[in-house]
Structure 1
Amino acid sequence: MNEPQPDPAVPSPPATPPGRHQAPGPDQAGGGTQMPGPYLAPGPYAGGTAWPAGPPQPLPHPAIGPQPWSPGQQQQPGGRPPGAYQGPYPGQYPGPYPWGPPPRTRWDVPPPPGTRYDRLARTPLHRWWRPIAGTAAIIVAFLALSIVVGLVAFLVSLVTGVPMVRTGTRLFADPVLDLGFQLGVIALLLPLVLGAAWLFQRRPPGSLSSVALRLRWRWLGACLLVALVAVVLGQAVEAVTLMSAGVDPGFRWAGWERFLPAIILILLLVPFQSAAEEYAYRGWIIQGFGAYLRNPWPAIVVGAAAFAASHGYTGWGIVYVFAFGMLMGWLAVRTGGLEAPIALHATNNIVAFGVVAASGDMGSAMEQGEVPWEALIGSAVQFAVFGIGVLIIARKWAIQTLSR
């Protein structure tokens, strides 16, 4: 048979496609096989067959990266410019590395796994000056915001005609409005503390909430139920002990028209006010000391002392507030978060303000002074019921106490 002769008009493919290395021939030191070069663009035309769109172009060295391409240059099969990636996935590498540019570094760094609640501020980015600078910033910002909010309230009162007294601790003549103003000012601590943890300590703000780096809502709900039982029992015991000692417990009913506006305001603002104080005194202070100390008790004592100093109680009232701060600090470390302290703090304040609102004497809602020692008996019952109940449920539910 006559074999077909090659058409002289069609150039035959070269013996070695461009971009390949020719191995030594038989008369040289090695065999005569062809070995692909490391930078030859892979594709269906790498076996020496004809290239409909031109010969494959070698890829640049990985250290050099893709070469710039202009519209006048020849394209590779598939419409890609020379140097483009021709692997199984379409598209071109964004840089000299197949995985693209390195990921962006996070600003906040979480704590290492297995960290206790009071030590969550000691992240890999911890420096000795971060808790100190954050504390100073919180104090300065809170004072500045309080002044600004007070000036805004004064201007609003001038425009609207709302009477102001500006005597003692009160600002507005209306006791309900004045209570709302003071609770709102205290609530400003919450965003300041969370912002300081992120900005100065460069850690997730959720690390102030718990070892899970967030507020555990299911656990908070369980703590609220225990707190409600503990506060009701404590109030009942306190009322009995006060009446047996001849002291008026202050239970009166002024009517729905005076009770409803006050209790609505209390239910809206007291949770934020209580949470703000817990984040400041139990969260920030305990974790701030925990960044330096391994033992949590010095931080718990300092937080309880600062909490007592920020209130206006005297005599046995100081003992009550300090004991409350100690219990809340210990529960925060023991349960790995602020859910239990927030639950008891908010429930206690809502019930206390609610009793005052029911009596119609809202002018004395924020008054703090001497507390009869008989009232501490009810407080002791409240603390015992809440502490034991929380620990039992925490053990039964296996509540997380270390970071993961």
Structure 2
Amino acid sequence: MPAGIRRSVERDLPTEESRELIALVRDIARKEIAPHAAAEEESGTFPRAAFRLLSDAGLLGLPYAAEYGGGEQPYSVYLQALEELAAARLTVGIGVSVHVLSCHALALHGTKEQRAAWLPGMLGGGLLGSYCLSEPTAGSDAAALSTKAVRDGGDWVLSGTKAWITHGGVSDFCTVLARSGGPGAKGVTAYLVPADAPGLSAAPPERKMGLKGSPTAQLHFDGVRVGDERRIGAEGEGFSLALDALDAGRLGIAACAVGLAQAALDAALDWAAERRQFGRAIGDFQGLRFLLADMATAVEAGRALYLAAARRKDAGLPYARQAAMAKLLCTDNAMKVTTDAVQVFGGYGYTSDFPVERYLREAKVLQIVEGTNQVQRMVIGRHLLGPEGR
């Protein structure tokens, strides 16, 4: 049975250009991505063709400068495009979010020469990126990185292991955070590393409960040599670059979570109208209507919060606290909405004949990536009670 009718969401779009952009994204998502999602997730097929299509359409660099091949769209518009992609297939939505994250350091902190040399291929040249921050013993504790970068003449030699890397083994380039100096946050530097660099290899992908079409793997750096021209920002500046990127990345995950929750709500609404018990559609029963009302409210609340945070970013205002709040609320809501969607379907929802069981499995990871939701609460609390809050 098909996933159901995808409902058009009322979008908050400031210009005719942005409205046309979202219409294009929605068209691609419905015609090219959604029809293959269930089968390709079941087989663990990586949707490289979909990413090439999105690159050709100019959709892999929406928030970045047009001068280098980006879409130069406000973050609030980019996130709504991301939501559309995630509603069609989370593997694609989260893949675009990670790719945009992997371009962040170069696009915002690279020199003009660096941006001119590499950004066009990254934003519109069919390339796909990985973001290499986490390690086997350093996840959200980015200041505890142990991957080393040692100077050797005009080069840097990188050694160590990165873990939980989305697109690990299939990406074309990596933004890598490595320790170039002493302990702590001030000893970390960012590098742009081509994925085919000698000494860089990928472990077998992790076996995950969801997002099976999105490879997640360790990357091993065994004396990987890169020129100093591939260092992004100043030596020791990598930690602040990473935190800046993660704030933006959390908004991407929030938008993906809302897209997934919207897909689950759509499926539940279709089923409630079609499924009949006791001589009438199950959607006629008050108990089920209340459940659907709560699901719809959670989706709308998450969307409003991520858009509010994105508008602060677009306006140049501090938004780290709001990004953490959006990531926390949207992903917790996605977990609840997908769980309730399975409940609406009853026994059928627990089978792979319908998409809601996949949505439930996929929602769980969103509470973990880009910093667990417990870490988001720490971030929010720090902003409320730390020097920023006072």
TM-score (structure 1 length as normaliser): 0.27
Where relative contact order (Cα < 8 A, 6+ residues apart) is larger, the structure is: 1
Larger radius of gyration: 1
Bigger helix share: 2
Bigger strand share: 2
